[in-house]
Structure 1
Amino acid sequence: MRIAVFGSTGRTGRLLCEHALERGHEVTAHLRNPEKLADLGPAIVRVEGELSDMASIARAIDGADVVVSALGTVDRKANTVLSDATTAILSAMEQAGVRHFAAVTSLGCGDSYGRVNSRLMKLVIRTVAKQIWADKDRQEQAIMQAGSRGEIDFLIVRPGGLTEAEPRGSWTELRGGQRSKGRQMIARADVADYILGRIGNLPFGNDTVMLV
């Protein structure tokens, strides 16, 4: 499978690249600084470019079977970084005829806010991280709209609190009004493996899943 990864140098994106290569996939990483993934060797194709650079986005997805976004931001000021980048990627996919798109957002996005167990996390989402979650909501809306138009087949993964722990190799999928008990945490490596497992069983079916 040929996989194009955006957000490839982030902590989750890098794991996606590493694990995909381990599984024998062909990986193309879109990134600002190609040196950041130089240690992965020639097995990974690195396409240098900004998220505002449509030409580099088009090069990254050329020939891809699946596009994966692990984009993130820590900018707490009002911005549209994630939603703008996602809209650009989706536009390039439509032009190139690439159908399958997976994106990592967060638990608490969209209709999942009420299923966040931690009162502290709910407070963070509604206060200091309000603008981050607002743009993630816009990002999800852009994906869902493209899916409803039949332009793409999408998977939106809303993980709980991300950790650097070793992967457990197991997780809980929650959809619709389903709830989980206890701490809603998951290792980044498990999120990467979950997405790669879904890539092995296409189509995604325009699925939105909470992962803990």
Structure 2
Amino acid sequence: MKIAVIGSTSATGLHLVAKGVRRGHEITAFSRRPQKLAGIQGLANVVAGNGLDASDVSKAIAGQDAVIAIVGSNPKSRTKEATEVIRNVISEMRTEDVRRLLFVSSYLLEATRPRIMMPVIRWWLRDSLEDLKSAEELITTSQMKWTVIRPTELNDKPETNKVRLERNSHFSSGPYEISRRDLANVILDELEQEKYIGTRVMVSWS
């Protein structure tokens, strides 16, 4: 499968593109920092660009079968960068007739547990979460074959291959974390199996 990864040099994106290549996919990595991809062998293409520039995004999406977007905004900034990047992604997907879109969002958007910490965390990250919510709204009304993946707290521990997935729901108990390596596997599994099209999927360790 030909896959464009927007946000390929994020902490999760680096695991994702490496795993995607190992699974035999043709990965086009899009990033503002392409030099961070130097250690990953077998990429079909590397496109240097800014997701806020539609012409840059078009170069990455042309000829693809699917797009994976891992984008967010700086919690200290009040800009809606994720929303604007996704707006460009959807527009260029329509132009290039690419319909499959996976977006990595956050479990924090509607999480209620752990009860003690959650209100404080959501208040602290309120601008970033509002940005992700806005980006999700663009996706879910886009008529794309979309899946939104909402992971719990991410860490850099080894993969376990022991994960929980909840469709449009919440986890009633912990753990409320997952490794970026396991998340990358979940994303690629969904792209290959298409179990959750048109669905928000919560993801955590089991």
- Verify same fold: TM over 0.5: yes
Per mean C-alpha deviation after superposition, the further-off stretch among 60-69 and 178-187 is 178-187
Partner of 1:175: 167
Counterparts of 1:183 and 1:9 in 2: how far apart (Å)?
A: 27
Partner of 1:65: 65
Are the equivalent residues in 2 in contact too, given 1:8–1:14 (CA < 8 A)?
Answer: yes
User: Does residue 1:159 correspond to 2:151, yes or no?
Assistant: yes
Distance apart, 1:122 and its partner CA: 3.0
User: Does residue 1:124 correspond to 2:121, yes or no?
Assistant: yes
Distance apart, 1:203 and its partner CA: 6.8
Q: TM-score, normalised by structure 2?
A: 0.93
Counterparts of 1:34 and 1:201 in 2: how far apart (Å)?
A: 29
CA deviations 1:21-40 (Å, max 9, x no partner) are 11111000111132111221
User: Does residue 1:36 correspond to 2:33, yes or no?
Assistant: no
SS in 1 for 2:173: coil
The CA RMSD over aligned residues, in Å, is 1.5
Counterparts of 2:75 and 2:153 in 1: how far apart (Å)?
A: 18
Does the C-alpha gap of structure 1 residues 184 and 163 become closer, same or farther in structure 2, counting only changes over 3 Å?
same
Length, aligned pairs only:
204
Distance apart, 1:113 and its partner CA: 2.8
Per mean C-alpha deviation after superposition, the further-off stretch among 70-79 and 28-37 is 70-79
User: Does residue 1:206 correspond to 2:203, yes or no?
Assistant: no
Partner of 1:8: 8
Per mean C-alpha deviation after superposition, the further-off stretch among 74-83 and 157-166 is 74-83
Counterparts of 1:96 and 1:198 in 2: how far apart (Å)?
A: 22
Distance apart, 1:70 and its partner CA: 1.2
Letter paired with 2:131: D
Structure 2 unmatched ranges of 5 or more: none
Distance apart, 1:75 and its partner CA: 3.3
Structure 1 unmatched ranges of 5 or more: none
Q: TM-score, normalised by structure 1?
A: 0.90
Question: Which structure carries more helix by proportion?
Answer: 1
Counterparts of 2:26 and 2:185 in 1: how far apart (Å)?
A: 16
Following superposition of structure 1 onto structure 2, how do residues 52-131 of structure 1 map, counting pairs within 5 Å?
52-109=52-109, 112-114=110-112, 116-126=113-123, 128-131=124-127
Distance apart, 1:42 and its partner CA: 5.1
